[in-house]
Amino acid sequence: MILSDREIKEYLKKGLLILNAKLENITSCSVDLTLSDEIGYFEERGLPYIDIFSEIEIKKVKFDEFFLQPKSFVLGITNEYIKLPDDIAAIIDGKSSLARRGLLVHVSSSLVDPGFEGRLILEMFNVNNIPIKIYKNMKIAKIFFIKLSSSSEIPYYKRKDAKFVWQNELKI
């Protein structure tokens, strides 16, 4: 079941769910997430291809306003820090108002596993033919919380392959 606004507020009040979002960002069944002031991207210089099995450095820049060029991909990170209990999963979704302008906010991996703790990395892509101007602290995505039928046997923080436990910075 997806948690309603009432349930989200109740979980936050009881400390069963941690999310440092503003109360006014809670909608009927989700919470709006905001974009931090940092963007990361791959520098093309000297990089003939991306090897998915090797470490890759990304260039990080701070911004107030950022022009995402046509057909360009960047990583962003939310201002909000979340901590999910072992019986709650979450789904990140882009905002429709941004998608209608050609900005895909979360290209893949929309599931946030039970037991995850940290800030969320956003995979942003401009499908438009002209640049899109984005701003720090803008509402960029929304998150839905899903109550599991029971607690996860192996929540994210217990997984041997968990790469993003307590994630607090942009990384790949």
In the chain, % helix, strand, coil (3-state, to 5) comes to 10, 40, 50
CA dist., res. 36 & res. 78, Å (int): 5
Identified catalytic residue from 38, 123, 153, 169: 123
- Catalytic annotation present for 80: no
Residue type, 31: V
As given in the structure block, the two tokens for residue 75 are 């990583």
Element spanning 134, H or E: strand 132-135
CA dist., res. 94 & res. 169, Å (int): 20
Residue positions annotated with a catalytic role: 123
